[in-house]
């Protein structure tokens, strides 16, 4: 016999559905609004925190519903004050999220999937099995927990959120957009959409869908090569989403949203760091308004890539700037605790 938990995940309900539950319980409709506020504005992880509800109603809610709250399983502190967290989900799966403090901003890097299916050769998560998508509330909880951590450790709230943790956000499209809706809503965390960046390895049809859906947040593309042969080698997804297809999708996205795009470009020694690579990247940048973040490579045990030399990085950036490209060189944070870009892969159990 299969035994199932009949309790409903209360955060999966719309306000209207929640109101119907309360009506069926013989409760006033405003109680549903109170509970919804506790769940999303006040980030309650337990029904007992809902202090303006009667004890009897809280008991009834516990019998009917569950709050599948994400919990901090483990935290590591880097020498540069970055904090990497292993989060435990309701089904005991583990994911990672990172708090990145700098003098200018307090950034939460959140995951969108348990593992990843894309097998990018330079990324530790790509060597993991993709177990499942995260629900909107599980992404939202990461933001809440990292915000609490920022206030506790640095006396500052989050200023930015990047969907650059484990998983490919556009392969969990509906849940990612729902999480952003809750994070930005006035009856949610009320954060500005322009403070949120979603990073994709490049799925052309979903980039177009972001345009159709009038996405208000920022979009970043993990590019790492503006040459199909090289990109195929390190990012197998490029075989079905060529640079031509991506350029067309990005132009369509820009025509619908007028949002410039960020290209992320990791420099690998003697692979994509020559001036001819920079020339290909500059040509790709002509398609629409954009900026390029040149990212330091962070070694992982699964791959043999080496970070490029500093002189080559500077020359690469200088060439792009001469071509009129807006360029930033990003230094890694949290490398000593495997919290830097491309290093997230759950190790602690």
Report residue 82 as tokens: 């970055």
Indicate which residues carry an active-site annotation. 96, 341
Give dist(CA 313, CA 57) in Å, integer.
Answer: 61
| Helix/strand/coil (H/E/C) assignment for every residue in the chain | CCCCCCCEEHHHCCHHHHHHHHHHCCCCHHHHHHHHHHHHCCCCCCHHHCCCCCHHHHHHHHHHEECCCCEEEEEEECCCCCEEEEEECCCCCEEEEEEEECCCCEEEECCCEECCCCCCCCCHHHHCCCCEECCHHHHHHHHHHHHHHHHHHHCCCCCEEEECCCCCHHHHHHHHHHHHHHHHCCCCCCCCHHHEEEEECCCHHHHHHHHHCCCCCEEEEECCCCCHHHHHHHCHHHHCCCHHHHHHHHHHHHHHHCCCEEEEEECECCCCCCHHHHHHHHHHHHHCCEEEEEECCCCCCCCCCCECCHHHHHHHHHHHHHCCCEEEEECCCCHHHCCCCCCCCCCCC
Q: What angle do CA 32, 33, 36 make, to 5 degrees?
A: 85
Give dist(CA 71, CA 83) in Å, integer.
Answer: 15
């Amino acid at each position: 016999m299969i035994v199932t938990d009949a309790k409903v995940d209360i955060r999966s309900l719309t306000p209207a559905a929640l109101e119907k539950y309360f009506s069926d319980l013989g409760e006033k409709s405003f109680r549903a609004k109170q509970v919804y506020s506790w769940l999303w504005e006040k980030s309650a992880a337990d029904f007992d925190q809902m202090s303006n509800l009667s004890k009897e109603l809280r008991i009834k809610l516990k019998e009917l519903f569950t709050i599948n709250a994400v919990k901090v399983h483990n935290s590591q502190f880097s020498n540069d004050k970055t904090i990497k967290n292993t989060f435990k989900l309701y089904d005991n799966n583990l994911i990672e999220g990172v708090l990145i403090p700098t003098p200018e901003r307090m950034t939460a890097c959140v995951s969108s999937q348990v593992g990843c299916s894309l097998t990018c050769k330079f990324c530790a998560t790509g060597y993991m099995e993709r177990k499942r998508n995260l629900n909107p509330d599980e992404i939202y909880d990461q933001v809440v927990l990292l915000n609490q951590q920022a206030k506790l450790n640095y006396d500052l709230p989050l200023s930015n959120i990047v969907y650059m943790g484990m998983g490919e956000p556009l392969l969990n499209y509906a849940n990612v957009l729902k999480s952003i809706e809750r994070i930005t809503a006035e009856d949610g965390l009320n954060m500005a959409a322009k403070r949120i960046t979603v990073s994709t390895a490049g799925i052309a049809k979903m980039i177009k869908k972001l345009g159709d859906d009038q996405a208000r947040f920022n979009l970043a593309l993990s590019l790492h090569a503006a040459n199909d042969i090289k990109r195929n080698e390190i990012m197998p997804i490029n075989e079905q989403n060529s640079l031509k297809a991506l350029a067309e999708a990005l132009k369509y996205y820009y025509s619908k949203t007028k949002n410039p795009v960020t290209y992320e470009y990791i420099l690998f020694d003697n692979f994509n760091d020559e001036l001819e690579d920079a020339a290909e990247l500059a040509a790709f940048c002509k398609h629409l308004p954009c900026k390029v973040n040149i990212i330091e490579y962070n070694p992982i045990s699964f791959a043999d890539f080496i970070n490029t030399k500093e002189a080559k990085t500077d020359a690469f950036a200088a060439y792009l700037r001469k071509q009129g490209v807006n360029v930033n060189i990003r230094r890694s944070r949290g490398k000593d605790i495997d919290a830097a870009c491309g290093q997230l892969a759950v190790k602690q159990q």
